[in-house]
């Protein structure tokens, strides 16, 4: 199906229900399926493995990432963990030094204990990845743009390195969403999403996903998926299918508002530093233009001469923006990474990559831009 993005967002994986003609994919709230004789079924046996509502969602996600196979998980972390299950003791992983805090925690506090070795490098410099490559490198795991300092990694260049090492390249595409970036087209083997964020888009579901092209890889991942059981339910699958229908419209609005917020904050006297890949002086601007369709709705700022207390005061004084974990929903959110999303990363490591006490991350929502700018003005004022 070679339809364009908006058409796929609304139709991919979905068909009118054969028994009733219902246009919307029903919520198949069932754990099991009748078999006419043992083994004689209609493709569905037990909902840990497959469920029709989830199947529609997985096919839609695969289409949006230009991939052949999709798998939906009960969370982004469950999706990430399933990729790590491909590894065995002695295997090595090269990954970013400013990862999502939960990914860092899983790598260092869970999987390192199973004899897997992790190297954390600045993935905006592919040569740092190359330096850590050995015969044991099995997986390169990157995020781009990164969270929260919005560094860019060159997916195509890193894909070539992965091929050379015989390793898989997995890209956490949560911040860009499939609307802005499609890593499989650039040489990645696996795309991971925290569907909780832009794809779900309404801050009402926690879910994750993997998309890939290779059937052998899909079969392996599906084996772990079904064996270990981090599967989402049909109700959540339905909500995400519904959310995806406006992904393209929401992303356009996030990008437009994100640009206006970034431009407003760039010259604000209380701002010491701003991270947004759309600025020409952002170090990753060139790569962003090359591999993304726009610059997204995430903006991070460092407050000038602000202590932790000052920063907390600013973070707590918004009226339209909500102080909360997470991102990518229709509503604008403010986050204090050092104590919230990245609290599980030791201080010296987090400060080295720019997650300082006076850093605030903004997920720009799709409210009226005038109200957002006015709220920023009063909170910073
Ligand atoms: C939120 C997030 C995750 C984890 O996803 P959950 O759905 O919360 O489990 C992973 N990576 C990034 C970049 C995220 O923002």
**Any idea what the CATH number is for the domain that residue 142 is in?**
3.40.640.10
pLDDT of residue 166 exceeding 90, the answer is yes
pLDDT of residue 169 exceeding 60, the answer is yes
Domain at 332, CATH number: 3.90.1150.10
Distance, CA of 132 to CA of 128 (rounded, Å): 7
CA 13 to chain centre: 21
Q: Are residues 83 and 29 in the same domain?
A: yes
pLDDT at 346: 86
Q: Specify the residue with its C-alpha closest to ligand 1, atom 8.
A: 76
Q: How confident is the model at residue 1 (pLDDT cuts 50, 70, 90)?
A: low
Structural domain span for residue 352: 247-380
pLDDT at 107: 98
Q: Are residues 157 and 271 in the same domain?
A: no
Binding-site residues, ligand 1, Cβ < 6 A: 75-77, 100, 102-103, 143, 147, 172, 174-175, 194, 196-197, 206, 208
Ligand 1 atom, smallest distance to 99 CA? 13
Q: Are residues 211 and 258 in the same domain?
A: no
List own/partner pairs for 353-356 with CB under 8 A and 24 or more apart: 353/97, 353/98, 353/149, 354/98, 354/149, 354/275, 354/302, 355/98, 355/148, 355/149, 356/302
pLDDT in tens, 252-311: 999 999 999 999 999 999 999 999 999 999 999 999 999 999 999 999 999 999 999 999
Q: Are residues 263 and 375 in the same domain?
A: yes
Distance, CA of 123 to CA of 101 (rounded, Å): 16
Distance, CA of 190 to CA of 218 (rounded, Å): 9
Q: Are residues 96 and 190 in the same domain?
A: yes
Distance, CA of 257 to CA of 260 (rounded, Å): 5
pTM: predicted TM-score of the whole model, two decimal places: 0.97
Counted domains in the chain: 2
Q: Are residues 316 and 174 in the same domain?
A: no
Q: Are residues 117 and 202 in the same domain?
A: yes
244, 268, 303 - which closes a domain = 244
Residue 264 structure tokens: 């407003």
Q: Specify the residue with its C-alpha closest to ligand 1, atom 11.
A: 100
Q: Are residues 124 and 190 in the same domain?
A: yes
pLDDT in tens, 174-228: 999 999 999 999 999 999 999 999 999 999 999 999 999 999 999 999 999 999 9
pLDDT at 342: 86
Q: Are residues 225 and 274 in the same domain?
A: no
Q: Are residues 210 and 266 in the same domain?
A: no
Q: Are residues 282 and 208 in the same domain?
A: no
Q: How confident is the model at residue 98 (pLDDT cuts 50, 70, 90)?
A: confident
Distance, CA of 142 to CA of 373 (rounded, Å): 32
Ligand 1 center to residue 42 CA distance, Å? 34
186, 210, 244 - which closes a domain = 244
Residue 66 structure tokens: 């230009």
Q: What is the mean pLDDT of residues 124-143?
A: 98
Are 265 and 155 within 8 A, CB to CB? no
Residues 6+ apart with CB under 8 A from 160: 187
Nearest to 112 by CA among 84, 78, 83: 84
Task: Pick the catalytic residue from 55, 132, 197, 259.
Answer: 197
* Percent of the chain surpassing pLDDT 70: 100
Q: What is the mean pLDDT of residues 230-249?
A: 98
């Amino acid at each position: 199906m070679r339809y364009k993005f908006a058409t796929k967002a609304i139709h991919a994986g979905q068909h009118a229900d054969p028994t009733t003609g219902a246009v919307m994919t029903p919520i198949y709230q069932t754990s099991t399926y009748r078999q006419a004789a043992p083994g004689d079924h209609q493709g569905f046996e037990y909902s840990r493995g497959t469920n029709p509502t989830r199947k529609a969602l997985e096919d839609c996600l695969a289409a949006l990432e230009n991939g052949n196979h999709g798998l939906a998980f009960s969370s982004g972390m469950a999706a990430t963990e399933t990729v790590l299950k491909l590894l065995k003791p002695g295997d090595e992983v090269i990954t970013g030094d400013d990862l999502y805090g939960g990914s860092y925690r899983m790598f260092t506090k869970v999987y390192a204990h199973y004899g897997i070795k992790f190297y954390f490098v600045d993935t905006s410099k592919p040569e740092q990845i190359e330096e850590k490559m050995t015969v044991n490198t099995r997986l390169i795991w990157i995020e781009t743009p990164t969270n929260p300092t919005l560094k860019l990694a060159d997916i195509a260049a890193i894909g070539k390195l992965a091929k050379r090492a015989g390793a898989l390249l997995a890209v956490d595409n949560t911040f860009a969403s499939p609307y802005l970036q499609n890593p499989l087209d650039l040489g990645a083997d696996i795309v991971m999403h925290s569907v909780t964020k832009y794809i779900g888009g309404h801050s009402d579901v926690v879910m994750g996903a993997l998309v890939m092209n290779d059937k052998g890889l899909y079969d392996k991942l599906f084996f772990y998926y079904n064996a270990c059981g981090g599967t989402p339910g049909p109700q959540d699958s339905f909500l995400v299918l519904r959310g995806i229908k406006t992904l393209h419209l929401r992303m356009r609005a996030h990008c437009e508002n994100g640009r206006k917020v970034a431009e407003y904050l760039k010259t604000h006297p209380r701002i010491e530093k701003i991270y947004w890949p759309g600025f020409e002086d952002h170090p990753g601007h060139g790569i962003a233009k090359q591999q993304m369709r726009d610059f997204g709705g995430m903006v991070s700022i460092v407050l000038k001469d602000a202590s932790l207390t000052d920063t907390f005061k600013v973070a707590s004084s918004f009226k339209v923006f909500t102080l909360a974990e997470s991102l990518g929903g229709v509503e604008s959110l403010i986050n204090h990474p050092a104590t919230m999303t990245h609290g599980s990363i030791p201080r010296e490591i987090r400060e080295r990559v720019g997650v300082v006490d006076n850093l605030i991350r903004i997920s720009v929502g799709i409210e009226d831009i005038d109200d957002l700018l006015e709220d920023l003005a009063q909170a910073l004022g």
